[in-house]
Amino acid sequence: MGLFESPDFDRHEEVAFFDDKATGLKAIIAIHSLALGPACGGTRMYPYASSDAALTDVLRLSRGMSYKSAIADLPLGGGKAVIIGDPLRDKTDAKLIAYAHCVNTLDGRYVTAMDVGMTPKDMPIIARATKHIAGYDQPGKKGGDSGPATALGVFTGLKAAVKHRLGLDTTKGLTVAIQGLGKVGFGVAERLHAEGAKLVVADVNKDAVKKAVDKLGAAEVSPDAIVTADCDVLSPNAMGAILNDLSIPRLKARVVAGGANNQLVRDEHGVLLKERGILYAPDYVINGGGVIRVAAQMIDWSDEEVERRVLAIGETLMKIFRRAESEGQTTNAIADRMAEERMARGKDSGKAHAAE
C-alpha cells in the first residue's frame, strides 16, 4: 500500500520513514498539522504485523493528535511516531538513541512524548540525543506523567456524558464497564468507586484485575466480554478500534466514554451508535488531559492551570453533545468540525502574520 493510497492519509504535512541498519531501527514519524504550533505526540513501540499496519496506525494517531490539541485549545499541532518491534525483546539503548536522531531531522517540527511500549526509563535515554521531547519527569521542570491528568479528564468527561444522556449528576449506583486497567483506566476506576459506581473490569494483566477486585470491589469479566457487558456506561481505556460493525449492535451501554484512542474503526460507526441511542464521547476530546499535561511542561503552566484546562473537558463535551443534538449530527462529526474550525483559524492567523 502506498502512502497516498492509504485510506488514513489525510493531507498529512509530512511523513518520514527511517531504517537504521546499524541498530535495526525501523520507525515512521507522521506530522498531520502544524497549523497551531509544533506537532506533538507520543512514540509507540509495537510489533506490527506489517509496515502497512504501522503506517495505518501512525497516520490515524497523528491525525488524532491534531484534533486533540485543537479541541483542547492548545498551541500545538499533531504528530505521532511508531517504532516497529516488540518493546520487551527488541528495545535497546542504541535503538532509542538512533530514534532520537530521527526526531532531530525534523528540526523541532515534531516533539515526541511517551506512548504504548515506551516507559519513563526510556525517555531520558532518548533525551540524551534530542531536545525535542516532553511528557516525562525532567529535572527542573514540573512533572510530566500524563496518566493522572488523563484519568481526571476521562472521569470529568464521563460524568458530562452521564449528565447529558441519563440526566444524572452522579455515577452513584450506575454500572460502569472498564476495559483496560493501566494508569488511566485504574485512575478512572478509583474515582468512580469513590463516587459509588458499580464496576465491571477486564484487562489482560491479571494483577491489575485482582487489584481492582480487591481494592474497589469490582466484578471481573473476560477481555473478550467487557465491550458487550451489562452496564450503563462502557469506558474503553485499552487499545482502539473496538466500536465496529460486530460490537455496536451488541452494546448494552447507553454511554461510551473512555480514554482509548481511535475507538471507532471508521467515522461512520458514530452513525451506528447514534442510531442505537448510545451517546459517544469522542475519544480525542475526553482523553485530552494527557496532552494538556505535556503542553504544560513545554509552556511552563502551573498545576492549577493544568487542572482548570482538564476540568474544562466536561464543558467542551457538553457543547459537542448539545450541538450534535441540535444539528442532528454524530458527536464525532461535531467534534471534528469544531477542531477543524480552530485549525482553520490557526492557518488564517499564520497567513495574516506572514503577510505583515
Give all domains of the chain, ordered by start, each with its CATH number: 14-127 (3.40.50.10860), 147-335 (3.40.50.720)
By percentage, how much of the chain surpasses pLDDT 70?
A: 96
pLDDT band at 347 (very low <50, low <70, confident <90, very high): low
pLDDT value of position 53: 95
Residues 334, 53, 119, 77, CA torsion sign = negative
Q: Which residue blocks in the chain are alpha helix, DSSP H?
A: 51-71, 93-104, 122-127, 147-166, 183-195, 206-216, 269-275, 283-286, 289-299, 303-327, 331-355
The average pLDDT across 55-83 equals 95
pLDDT value of position 58: 96
The average pLDDT across 8-19 equals 95
pLDDT surpasses 60 at 233: yes
- 219-220 sheet: strands from edge to edge: 219-220, 198-202, 175-179, 233-236, 255-256, 279-280
CA separation (Å) from 126 to 43, 281, 332? 11, 34, 35
- Asked if 59 and 6 count as a contact pair (C-beta separation under 8 A), the reply is yes
Which residue among 80, 91, 198, 274 is the active-site one? Answer: 80
68 catalytic residue (yes or no)? no
pLDDT surpasses 90 at 144: no
Q: How far apart are CA 115 and CA 227, in angstroms?
A: 23
